[in-house]
Chains A and B, each alone.
Chain A
Amino acid sequence: MKLGLAIDLDTCVGCHACATACKQWNTSGAIGPLTDENPYGKDPDGAWLNRIRTFEIDASPHSKTVNMPLSCMHCEDAACVTVCPTGASYKRSEDGIVLIDQDRCMGCNLCSWACPYGARELDPGSGTMKKCTLCIDRIYDQQLPENERQPACVITCPTQSRVFGDYDDPDSDVSKLNRQRGGKQLMPELGYNPVNTYLPPRNPIQQEQGGSVLGKVKHIVNRIIKR
């Protein structure tokens, strides 16, 4: 099993519901509470696990705004597991989820240095590293109804931009989406082989055709054919 997420960059609106749901779910559970220091004060600090960053692709007036939720990619070749001196960071062989054992972590930060995606954060309250657990305490919880055994961020997304599944199963939703939409890995040149894929926007960003009539006709015909 290679569990992971497929995130649709076409439909993500950057609402941060996934970040909020993740934070709420992780007030208890596998990694314990995520600290909030000074939440209503001047210099808030703490740990939360899903960073949604907004990028502008190309320049105005042809620009596109893309919201990119970044959480742990559960890489196949995870350097964060390799560099951990205490063995707190580990990748499960049965489903590929990368976890941090909170009883072993000594908070040396080396795993956060090894992660290119900024998935790991030091929790200032517990002194240990925290990261996305792929809601391991939800997906295997037999007390929850079948359709709720998914990560909190996936269930909560109002535009259904996050899909959870098994990449080793060619018929799962994530595998199908990955094939159909041409899902991309982030920073593949580093060789970490991230499992989470990002589905690029469906309509590619068009270059403005020339002002000529022929150009405009070609443009319309192209779009009809594509539909």
Chain B
Amino acid sequence: MHPAFSVLIFTITSGAGYGLLGWLSANELFALWPLSIMAKITIGITAMVLISVGLSASTWHLANRKNAWRSFSGFRTSWLSREAVFAIVLYPVAAMYAAGLYFGWPYIGLWSGLCLLLCLVIVFVTSMIYASLKTIPQWHTPLVPTLYLLFAIMSGGLAWAIMLTWNGLDITNFNQSLALIVAVTASVKLGYFIWFRLPATSSIQSATGFTQHRVSLLDAGHSAPSFLNKEFMFDVEQVKLVRLRWVMFIATFVIPLSVLYWIPTSMTLLGAWLVMMAGLLIERWLFFAEARHVVRLFHGQQKV
């Protein structure tokens, strides 16, 4: 699958934003760390900026943006539509949470709880856009929504740790919990790579109907690339993919884990977060580049 840069930016940036907002809301609900009201509002605004940058990035890849407002109407069946609706609903809820903090409302738990719920729902729904597609076997697994949620919790959590240190709080225990979250996410990602190796269900035989014979493509029928070639026949050499996987793993998990465990100061944590975001960008790119759509069977691939 051709990786659309705008979609990559959208998922990692808004993922981190929803994660950060989720941590802020959880802190409010469970009274974990003491923070001043202005600190909470500042963190909330940072999260909303991340989310908004991500959401605006997601509109860049639309070929006919003027109809984007119609994307709320498919709520009953379309995960993309559900994501659009919930993303918009979050804005007034977050505003009410902020207002509640500023004006000192008594039932702030309601708004922060709604915020937390919405953040989790939005990340889940975003992942289901990809996981619901039967045509892309690499995406059609419950591991994909699991990983999206874990990435949001992880990247948001690291941003939250940075915010806590900037507010002068001691986060030694939290660093260890965060290291555990990073380790768990890394394990699930490794599990995903193992799951990748499951045998294919669709083959060129089932695609052409000649199930009892050897089938190969003789002629694609066109001499110039088409939309289908550009979108689905995106191919990178296996060597490069493997190398990128190593880089991704080290940047996303190993470096942040090491920083969290050994040298967690506010500056190094910020560096670790930036490295993690770069690693997540590579991870997202690989998510697309390693995906094999079943239409490739009609372009000559034997099994998908």
Contact = CB atoms under 8 A, between A and B. Distances in A.
Interface of A: 9, 14, 16, 43-45, 47-48, 51-59, 65-66, 68, 70, 79, 81-88, 103-110, 112-118, 121-122, 124, 126-128, 184-191, 198, 200, 205
Contacts of A190: 134-135, 202, 294
Contact of A53 (B78, B84, B134, B298): B298
A128 B64 contact: yes
B215 A56 contact: yes
Q: Which of B62, B64, B74, B208 has the most CB of A within 10 A?
A: B64
Contact of B219 (A54, A110, A205): A54
Given A87-B70, A107-B63, A186 B226 contact: no
Nearest to B217: A55
B105 to A, nearest CB: 35
B296 to A, nearest CB: 9
Task: Please classify the interface of chain A as helix (H, G, I), strand (E, B), loop, or mixed, using the class held by over half of its residues.
Answer: loop
Interface of B: 1, 61-68, 70-74, 77-81, 84, 129, 132-136, 201-202, 204, 206-210, 213-222, 224-228, 231-232, 293-295, 297-299
Q: Which of B67, B68, B206, B228 has the most CB of A within 10 A?
A: B67
Contacts of B204: 55
Contacts of A103: 67
Given A66-B208, A70-B298, A85 B228 contact: no
A83 B221 contact: no
A114 B227 contact: no
Contact of A186 (B70, B73, B209, B221): B209
16 contacts: A16-B221, A45-B224, A48-B226, A51-B222, A53-B219, A53-B220, A55-B218, A59-B214, A65-B218, A106-B63, A107-B64, A109-B63, A110-B80, A117-B295, A190-B135, A190-B294
B78 A84 contact: yes
Contact of A106 (B70, B136, B208): B70
Contacts of A14: 219, 221
B64 A106 contact: yes
Minimum-distance CB pairs A-B, first 6:
A107-B63, A127-B64, A127-B63, A184-B209, A85-B81, A86-B70
